[in-house]
Amino acid sequence: MKNKKIDKQLIKNIAIIVVVYAVVAGLLYGGFLTRQFRSLLVPVCINVILAVSLNLTTGFLGELTLGHAGFMSVGAYTGALITMNLNLPLVVEFPIALIAGGLMASLFGVIIGVPVLRLHGDYLAIVTLAFGEIIKSLINAMSVTNGAMGLSGIELHANYKHFTFVFILTILTIFAIKNMVNSRQGRAVCSIRDNYIAAEAVGIPVSKFKVMAFVVAAFFAGIAGVIYGHNVGTLKPTTFDYNKSIEILVIVVLGGMGSIKGSIIAAVILTILPEVLRGADEFRMLLYAIVLIAMMIFNSSQLKERILANDIVAKFTKVKKEA
Amino acid sequence: MGILQNILEQVINGLRSGSIYALIALGYTMVYGIAKMINFAHGDIIMVGAYALYVGITLLHLPIVAAVLFSIAVCTILGVVIERVAYKPLRSAPPLAVLITAIGVSFLLQSLSLLIFGATPIPQASIVTFEGIKIGGVSISGITIVTLIVTTICMIVLTWFIHKTKMGSAMRAVSEDKGAAELMGIDVNKTISLTFAIGSALAAIAGILYVCQYQSLRPTLGAMPGIKAFVAAVLGGIGSVPGAMLGGVILGLIESLSKAYISTELSDAIVFGILVLVLLVKPSGLLGKIRKEKV
Within 8 A of A114 by CB-CB distance, chain B residues are 280
Q: Tell me the pLDDT band of B204, cut-offs 50, 70 and 90.
A: very high
Report, as an integer, the average pLDDT of A298-323: 62
**Distance between CA B189 and CA B179 in Å, rounded?**
12
- Taking the C-alpha atoms of residue A163 and residue A229, their distance in angstroms, rounded to an integer, is 15
- Backbone φ, ψ for residue A247 (5° rounding): -55, -45
Query: Considering only alpha carbons, which residue of chain B is nearest residue A195?
Result: B295
| Residue A318: its H or E element | helix A311-321
* Secondary structure of residue B289 in the 3-state scheme: coil
Question: CB-based contact (8 Å) between A111 and chain B?
Answer: no
Question: Does residue A249 belong to any structural domain of this protein?
Answer: no
Mutate: best of B272, B293, B294, B295, partner A, most A CBs <10 A: B272
**Calpha distance A265→A276 (Å, rounded):** 16
8 A C-beta contact, residue B25 and residue B238: no
Instruction: Report pLDDT for A174.
Output: 92
Average pLDDT over residues B150-169: 90
CA distance B69 to chain A (A): 28
Cβ of B107 within 8 Å of Cβ of A288? The answer is: yes
Query: How high is the pLDDT of residue A215?
Result: 92
In a domain, residue A99? The reply is yes
A167-198 tens-digit pLDDT: 999 999 999 999 898 999 889 989 988 888 89
Q: Give the pLDDT score at A314.
A: 53
Q: What is the pLDDT of residues B62-105, one digit of tens each?
A: 888 899 999 999 999 999 999 999 888 888 888 778 888 888 89
B91 touches chain A (CB under 8 A): no
Can you tell me the ipTM of this complex? 0.78
Q: What percent of chain B has pLDDT over 90?
A: 27
Neighbour-count burial of A263, counting CB atoms closer than 10 A to its CB (0-12 exposed, 13-18 middle, 19+ buried): buried
Question: What's the mean pLDDT when you consider all of chain A?
Answer: 83
Question: What is the tens place of the pLDDT at every residue in B111-123?
Answer: 899 888 888 888 8
Per-residue pLDDT of B188-200, as tens digits, reads: 999 999 999 999 9
Contact A300 B97 (CB under 8 A): yes
Asked if residue A159 is part of any domain, the answer here is yes
Interval B203-208 mean pLDDT: 92
The span from the CA of A192 to the CA of A169, in Å, is 29
Residues of chain B with Cβ-Cβ distance to A149 below 8 Å are: none
Query: Is residue A1 situated within a structural domain?
Result: no
For residue A235, give the DSSP letter.
B
- Calpha distance A217→A177 (Å, rounded): 9
Give residue A194's domain range: 33-242
pLDDT band (50, 70, 90) for residue A1: very low
The HSE-up count of residue A127 (CA atoms within 13 Å, CB side) is 24
> Which of B93, B95, B110 shows the shortest C-beta gap to A121?
B95
pLDDT in tens, A6-38: 678 788 888 888 888 888 888 877 777 777 778
Asked if A153 and A82 touch (Cβ cutoff 8 Å), the reply is: no
Report phi then psi at B38, rounded to 5. Answer: -90, 115
Closest approach of chain A CAs to the CA of B222, in angstroms? 13
**CB-based contact A129 B227, cutoff 8 Å:** yes
Would A285 be classed as within a structural domain? no
Tens of pLDDT, residues A34-61 = 777 788 888 999 999 999 999 998 889 8
For residues A115 and B145, the model is more confident at B145
Predicted confidence (pLDDT) at residue B266 exceeds the cutoff of 60: yes
With a CB-CB cutoff of 8 Å, which residues 50-89 of chain A face chain B? 58, 62, 64, 66
| DSSP class per residue in B173-216 | HHHH-HHHHHHTT--HHHHHHHHHHHHHHHHHHHHHHHHHHH-E
What pLDDT score does A310 carry? 65
Q: Taking 70 as the threshold, does the pLDDT of residue A212 lie above it?
A: yes
| Stretch (H or E) spanning A260 | helix A260-276
Predicted local distance difference test score (pLDDT) of residue A210: 87
A299 touches chain B (CB under 8 A): yes
Q: Between chains, do B107 and A289 touch, taking CB under 8 Å as contact? A: yes
| For A302, nearest residue in chain B (alpha carbons) | B89
Interface subset of A 147-176, CB within 8 angstroms of B: 147
Give a yes or no: residue A316 inside a domain: no
Of B89, B103, B105, nearest to A300 by CB-CB distance is B89
User: Distance (Å, rounded) from C-alpha A286 to C-alpha A280?
Assistant: 10
At residue A319, the pLDDT reads 54
Instruction: Give chain A positions within 8 Å (CB) of B96.
Output: 58, 62, 64, 121, 257
- Residue A73: which of A232, A210, A263 has the closest Cα? A232
Instruction: Give the dihedral sign, CA A160/A161/A164/A168.
Output: negative
Distance from the B237 Cα atom to the nearest Cα atom in chain A, whole angstroms: 12
- The total number of residues shown for chain B amounts to 295
Q: Which residues contact B217 (CB under 8 A, 6 or more apart)?
A: B47, B50, B51, B54, B117, B121, B122, B123, B124, B211
Distance from C-alpha of A166 to C-alpha of A162, rounded to nearest angstrom: 7
Structural domain total, chain A: 1
Residue A204 in domain: yes
Predicted confidence at residue A53, as pLDDT, reads 93
By Cβ distance, the residue of B99, B273, B295 closest to A64 is B99
Q: A284 or A51, which is more confident?
A: A51
Three-state DSSP at B2 gives: coil
pLDDT at B175: 87
Q: Name the minimum distance, in Å, from the CA of A61 to any CA of chain B.
A: 11
Average pLDDT in the A246-275 region?
86
Helices (H), chain B: 3-35, 42-54, 64-82, 95-117, 142-164, 166-176, 178-183, 188-214, 223-236, 241-261, 267-281
Q: Write the residue in B111, B265, B279 that is nearest to A289 by C-beta.
A: B111
Q: Quick check: B245 and B26 in contact, CB under 8 A?
A: yes
Q: Is residue A74 part of a domain?
A: yes
Q: Does residue B234 belong to the interface with chain A, where contact is any CB pair within 8 Å?
A: yes
CB-based contact A64:B100 (threshold 8 Å): yes
Residue type at A122? D
